[in-house]
Structure formats: structure tokens, C-alpha cells
Amino acid sequence: MSGTRFNNGRRVIEKWNDVFSVLDAEPRRQIVTSLLDADGSVPLPESAVNPNASPDPKELRLELYHKHLPVLAEHGFIEWEADPFVAERGPRFGEVAIVFEALYTHVESIPDSLVIGC
């Protein structure tokens, strides 16, 4: 019985590691929050941009294509297409969405240093 529990514990830890490693980049966080508000797919690169810190559009497009989108898709959090350049929720999207839903529920408790300018 404890062997099963131990093995499941490892899988749960790996899933949380996936969630937090994927959310360590702003474009990926922006895509997730854009998808939270969308009924279907979201346009890229627009949905990956923080309006308070606009990146170079060409550079962002390349980073999305070669880095950020593959990372999200590899874990099943999103699915994406190059033409048209869009992203949509993947089968594991709920695992990253819950982090933002929990934050939004407790937004008044988030320190200003993590909110001001966002």
C-alpha cells in the first residue's frame, strides 16, 4: 500500500514541477491567462504580450515558435498552430489554469510588489 502512495507522490511532484517550470516565463503566463478568458483559440503573438512591457514583435514571434509554445505543448497545457498562429487549451490546461484561478481568488492578498506595473 505505501509503495503505491510513494509512486503517486512522485507523479504529483513531477506534475507540480511541470506547472511551475512552465510558468517561469512571462509570455507563457500571458498565454495561459489569455486562454482563461477565451472560449476557443487565442491569436499569437498578441496573446503572449504583457501590455506594460511590450517586447520586440519579431523577437517574440521567434521565441514563441521555437521556445515558449513547444514547452507549453510538450506538457499538454496547450495546443498550437503556426498558420494561423494561434493557441488553444490542451488536455492538461486545468493544471496551469488553477494556479491563476487561485491567485485571482486571493488577489487582495498578493503583495503590491508582485502586482504594481502588471
Whole-angstrom Cα distance, residue 84 to residue 93? Answer: 21
Q: What is the pLDDT of residue 114?
A: 74
Residue ranges and CATH numbers for the domains of the chain are 2-114 (1.10.10.10)
Q: What is the pLDDT of residues 16-52, one digit of tens each?
A: 999 999 999 999 999 999 999 999 999 999 999 988 8
Instruction: Tell me the three cell numbers of residue 14.
Output: 513531477
Q: What are phi and psi of 39, to 5 degrees?
A: -85, -20
From residue 50, alpha-carbon distances to 11, 32, 36, 64, 83 in Å are 32, 12, 15, 14, 23
Q: What is the pLDDT of residue 105?
A: 84
Q: What is the pLDDT of residues 99-118, one digit of tens each?
A: 989 988 877 777 888 777 65
Please give the radius of gyration of the chain, using alpha carbons only, rounded to the nearest integer: 16
Indicate the pLDDT class of residue 1, thresholds 50, 70 and 90. Answer: very low
User: Mean pLDDT, the chain, as a whole number?
Assistant: 90
Which strands form 78-82's sheet, in the order they lie side by side? Answer: 42-43, 85-89, 78-82
